[in-house]
Structures are given as structure tokens and as C-alpha cells.
Amino acid sequence: MRNRFDEQLETLNNELIKMGSLIEYAIEKATDAFITQNNDEAEMVIRFDKEVDDKEKQIEGLCLKLLLQQQPVARDLRQISAALKMITDMERIGDQAADISEIVMMLGRYPELKEMIHIPKMAEATIKMVKESIDAYVKKDLGLAKQVIDYDDVVDDLFVVVKDELIELIRSNVKQSEAAADMLMVAKYYERIGDHATNIAEWVIFSITGEKTI
């Protein structure tokens, strides 16, 4: 029964997984461009954002079609409404990967990152959050979704550490202050990506249990 609807829900699921892969790719490449100071790679990430945006539009259309045609209730309604909310957060993550890349291109040469090991650590932590939030959706893994939410504290703490490091950098070398301000923005983008991954995890929990943690 409702074979067609089940197929459409499966398509929705697959499209969300694809969008998840797109944003994982975008932040990994943006991070790589930042660490290796590679402008070509940064430019690629900026262009790539259109693919994320297109995927969001496509999934949004699919969700609205399902709401209209199938008038879903119970777990179907939760899955579709969660998907609609999640793609907004995913799209923002894509934007922030592009924002980081724009700063990479503006920065030119900047201080040795070896001295600021905490920005790459922050990047690593947020990438882990995004990956696991999508994994939690794919596997309907409540425990993993909760871990993602808890892990946001790690990212928030790292942001404070990075901020302190950058203040120290400005104090020790005023010429680096502009670069330091840009890097603070990069760190803030990672921190925001962590927040969006938290939102995704919260919608995963809603789609499984019906509980709104937001």
C-alpha cells in the first residue's frame, strides 16, 4: 500500500543524503583551501555553493509536492517537515563554506597556522559535527544525534581559545591585526556551522521521536 508514496519518501531521503555529501565536501575543501592557502581551491568552493543552493530548491519542491499530494500525518509528516527545516541549515552551512573561502582569497599570505593550531582543530570539530548529524539522519541514530548536540560545546570552547590566540597575535604584532580580524571571522563561521549541525541533529531527533528539543 502507498507504494508510490514510499518511493517518494525514499527519494527524499536519498536527496538529503546527497545534499549532506555536498556540504561535507564544501567545508572540507574550504578548510583545505584555508590551511594550504590555496586560492584556486577557495574559488572552486565559492562556485560550488550554487550546487548546494540548487539541491536545496529541488528538495524543497519535493517536500511541498509531498505535503500537497499525500497530506502526510504521523511519522511521514515528521520526516517531511524535518527535511524542510534541515535543508535550510544545510544551505547555510554551504554559504558559510563559501564565506570562509572568500576570506581565504582576501587574506593573501597570513601567519603560520602552525602557531594557531586551534583554527584547524575547530574546522575538524565542525566537520565531525556535520558528518555525524547527517549520519544520524541516514541511520536514524538517536544516540549519535544527541552526541552531535553535546559536541557543540567543544566547538564553542575552541572558539574562545582561537579568539584568545588572535588577541595575542595582535598584541605581539600589530601588522597582523587585519589578518587576525579576518581569521576571527573564519573562526566565527566555523562556530556557526557547528550551530547549524546542532539544528540538523535536533530535527533528526524530532523526526524519530516527535520531540522538539529546539
Q: Using CB under 8 A, list all residues that contact another protein.
A: 1-2, 5-6, 71-78, 210
Closer residue to another protein in complex, CB, 9/103 = 9
Smallest distance from another protein to CB 141, Å: 19
Sign of the Cα pseudo-torsion (163, 167, 172, 176, in order): positive
CA distance 73 to 156: 37
Alpha-carbon distances of 74 from 78, 79, 81, 95, 214, rounded to whole Å: 6, 9, 11, 32, 19
Smallest gap, in angstroms, from Cβ of residue 210 to another protein?
A: 4
Query: Quick one: 71 or 172, whose CB is closer to another protein?
Result: 71
How far apart are CB 203 and another protein at their closest, in Å? 15
Task: Write out the three cell numbers for 193.
Answer: 556551522
Give me the least distance between CB of 199 and another protein, in Å please: 20
Residue with Cβ nearer another protein (54 or 211)? 211
Considering the complex, state which of residue 39 and residue 70 has its C-beta at the smaller distance from another protein: 70
Least Cβ distance, residue 15 to another protein (angstroms): 21
For residue 64 the three cell numbers come to 511541498
* Closest to another protein by CB, 84 or 134: 84
Contact at 8 Å (CB) between 201 and 146? yes
Query: Cα-atom radius of gyration of the chain, to the nearest Å?
Result: 19
Residues 6 or more apart from 210 whose CB is under 8 A from it? Answer: 78
Query: 101 near 182, Cβ under 8 Å?
Result: no
